[in-house]
A and B are shown apart, each in its own frame.
Chain A
Amino acid sequence: MDIQPYLLLSAITFVIGVVGVLARRNAIIVFMSIELMLNSVNLSLVAFSAFLGDVTGQMLVFFVMTVAAAEAAVGLAIIIALFRNKQTVNIDDINILKW
């Protein structure tokens, strides 16, 4: 099997994630969409790694996952702090936050 289907799948997932970030107004959904983007990148990296016969890509995926976990912790802490003060996670309800 060729690498193209993997890359196409990864590209489509990435674009779905981008659409989610730009179109959705709930901070947690936006964050989930970002996770989709990271997953699609990881898929590309693993596919390249497998087809190049080189393990470097998988190393990178390992670091991406670590950082994703760290970002998730900080991001949710920020979301919770905001919710405590404001009782909302909708980006539209946040007056100054105009994209």
Chain B
Amino acid sequence: MIVIRLEDLLYSAPLLVLTSSGLLALIAEAAGRDKPVISYYTSLIGVITSLILTFLNLGAGVPVFNNMILQGGYAAYCNLIFLSSALLSIVLSRSYLERMQYHRGEFYVLIVFATAGMMLMAAALDLTIVFLGIELMSICLYVLAGFMRKKELANEAALKYFLLGAFATGFLLYGIALIYGTSGTTNLVVISRSFAQLSGNSLFLIGCGMLIVAFSFKIAAVPFHMWAPDVYEGAPTTVTAFMSTGAKAAAFATFVAVFVRVFDIPGTALSSVLALIAAASMIVGNVTAIAQNNVKRMLAYSSIAHTGYMLSGIAAGNAEGEQGILFYLVAYTFMNIGAFGIVSWVEQQEDRKLKFDDYAGFSARQPAVAVLMSVFMFSLAGIPPFAGFFGKYYVFLAAVKADMTWLAIIGVMTSLVSVYYYLRLVVLMYFCEGESDVAAKVPLAAISAVTLAAVLVILLGIYPSLLVDMTKGFFKI
């Protein structure tokens, strides 16, 4: 039996390079004590190299490592999201952590390994890899959430995230066990071939239901969202940026891979369950976000709402929905990470300057940053011509085409509600008096990272077809 072929290694080069850079950064951290900058550069080089290799690998998907993972195509597209999220988070983290006095090399190592976990999740062709990828990502994130270990809020966030994450793992595994028991395999391709006859088996459907519960925890969909606001608030802001974009995108990528690409869900009971979860997330997320005074918490609830929008694409289950989610994930990643990046510039030690009022009159002192923040807020609200608008347009269009007009109507109504709280921040920045300013001099790298995110949000808003055309061939297996 052939164990590894050369192609396996070549096709999974982005993953291998990234993992190696994580190991190198770890060694660098151990060797050069108190010089976290070495780990910073090592992981940065690793992520950028991996990004370049992924671009070269965007062609058709190829199953590698004995049909364990799929590399290229869909996986490569998702890798671009995770790697950009990791890249921006790493760049933003350096100055943020230095300011908060928690700058340590392990931070970057954990971000890199979490990204490797995400890449595995999106690439998984076997439920074993789904499980291991989720765990690799989650264990890194538990630690990152509690990285500011002398801060009570961070400890509590980490504990809550850990306990609920492990709880969700229990459901994930029970679901996998039931699917394995009824289908006799853990390979998703094999399961998809016999899906027609399996979907009549109630135990198999319970297994799928348990997977939905587990994934809903990871993407923070109502009613499994209760960890998100506390964890997003307690974690370091740049980690929140990473969690709410990369980790959410990874969970969605797996969700799509398992439930759309492999299991043919449209028309089954599972798709109506997903539609209900989507509707609940949109309503709860948006309505609760209005009441928030803390910007980080507002963005946490807004991220629950965005989960709802994206889930309606999965619930619709048609080609438009799939492409819509993939576009939405990219748009959401850039606009959200940009918004959190700016929040991290304004934030000061001991959780000061995180309130809405702390942004009053921001434009007077930092006109450029205020413009960037407004771009992200407009895009999150779904106002054209920014990328967020087209994301919503595609998923709602998909819902209408799948005869779920009610879901699209709820989506549009709740989006209108969301305009209120996003624009509240913009109004505060431009039309109110205040002393607000960024906490310290922001380094050029961080400014260019956020500017890049803003440029992409605008560019994808004007030319959404750049991405949408790319995703067309991803759902044939």
Do the two chains belong together in a single complex? Answer: yes
Q: Which residues of A contact B (CB under 8 A)?
A: 7, 14, 17-18, 21, 27, 30-31, 34, 37-38, 40-41, 44-45, 47-48, 52, 54, 56-57, 59-60, 63-64, 67, 70-71, 74-75, 78-79, 81-82, 85-86, 94, 96-99
Nearest opposing residue in chain A for B145, CB measure: A78
Q: Contacts A71-B139, A94-B156: A63 and B163 contacting too (C-beta < 8 A)?
A: no
CB distance from A4 to the nearest CB of B (A): 12
What residues on A are CB-neighbors of B127 within 8 Å? 60
Choose one: B162, B169, B174, B230; the contact of A96 (CB below 8 Å): B230
| B166 within 8 Å of A (CB atoms) | yes
Tell whether, in the assembled complex, residue A70 and residue B180 are in contact, meaning their CB atoms are under 8 Å apart.
no
Nearest opposing residue in chain A for B170, CB measure: A37
Tell whether, in the assembled complex, residue A96 and residue B170 are in contact, meaning their CB atoms are under 8 Å apart.
no
Choose one: A44, A45, A63, A78; the contact of B132 (CB below 8 Å): A63
What residues on A are CB-neighbors of B162 within 8 Å? 71, 74-75, 78
Choose one: A30, A81, A85; the contact of B163 (CB below 8 Å): A30
Tell whether, in the assembled complex, residue B156 and residue A70 are in contact, meaning their CB atoms are under 8 Å apart.
no
What residues on B are CB-neighbors of A38 within 8 Å? 169-170, 173
Choose one: A37, A59, A85; the contact of B155 (CB below 8 Å): A85
Tell whether, in the assembled complex, residue A57 and residue B170 are in contact, meaning their CB atoms are under 8 Å apart.
no
| B150 within 8 Å of A (CB atoms) | yes
Annotate B120-152 by CB proximity to A: 1 below 8 A, 0 otherwise. Answer: 000000011001100100010011001001111
What residues on A are CB-neighbors of B275 within 8 Å? none
Tell whether, in the assembled complex, residue A44 and residue B167 are in contact, meaning their CB atoms are under 8 Å apart.
no
Tell whether, in the assembled complex, residue A44 and residue B181 are in contact, meaning their CB atoms are under 8 Å apart.
yes
Tell whether, in the assembled complex, residue B173 and residue A74 are in contact, meaning their CB atoms are under 8 Å apart.
no
> Interface size (B, Cβ < 8 Å)?
39
Assembled-state Cα–Cα distance A89/B193 (Å): 48
Nearest opposing residue in chain B for A64, CB measure: B173
Choose one: B135, B163, B169, B184; the contact of A52 (CB below 8 Å): B184
Looking at B132, B150, B181, B230, the one whose CB has the most chain A CB atoms below 10 A away is: B181
Nearest opposing residue in chain B for A49, CB measure: B180
What residues on B are CB-neighbors of A18 within 8 Å? 170
Nearest opposing residue in chain A for B178, CB measure: A44
Closest 3 CB pairs of A and B: A37-B170, A48-B181, A82-B155
Q: Which residues of B contact A (CB under 8 A)?
A: 127-128, 131-132, 135, 139, 142-143, 146, 149-153, 155-156, 158-160, 162-163, 166-167, 169-170, 173-174, 176-178, 180-181, 184-186, 226, 230, 233-234
- 17 other contacts beyond A40-B174, A67-B169, A71-B162, with CB at 8 A cut-off? A14-B174, A21-B167, A31-B166, A37-B167, A41-B170, A41-B173, A41-B174, A44-B181, A45-B180, A60-B131, A67-B132, A70-B135, A75-B142, A75-B163, A78-B146, A85-B151, A97-B160
What residues on A are CB-neighbors of B150 within 8 Å? 85
What residues on B are CB-neighbors of A96 within 8 Å? 153, 156, 230, 233-234
Nearest opposing residue in chain A for B171, CB measure: A37
Nearest opposing residue in chain A for B134, CB measure: A67
Q: Can you show 19 pairs from A to B with CB atoms below 8 A apart?
A: A18-B170, A37-B173, A40-B174, A44-B174, A52-B184, A57-B181, A60-B127, A60-B177, A60-B180, A63-B128, A67-B131, A67-B132, A70-B139, A71-B169, A82-B156, A82-B158, A86-B155, A94-B159, A96-B233
Tell whether, in the assembled complex, residue B159 and residue A79 are in contact, meaning their CB atoms are under 8 Å apart.
yes
CB distance from B142 to the nearest CB of A (A): 6
What residues on A are CB-neighbors of B159 within 8 Å? 27, 78-79, 82, 94, 97
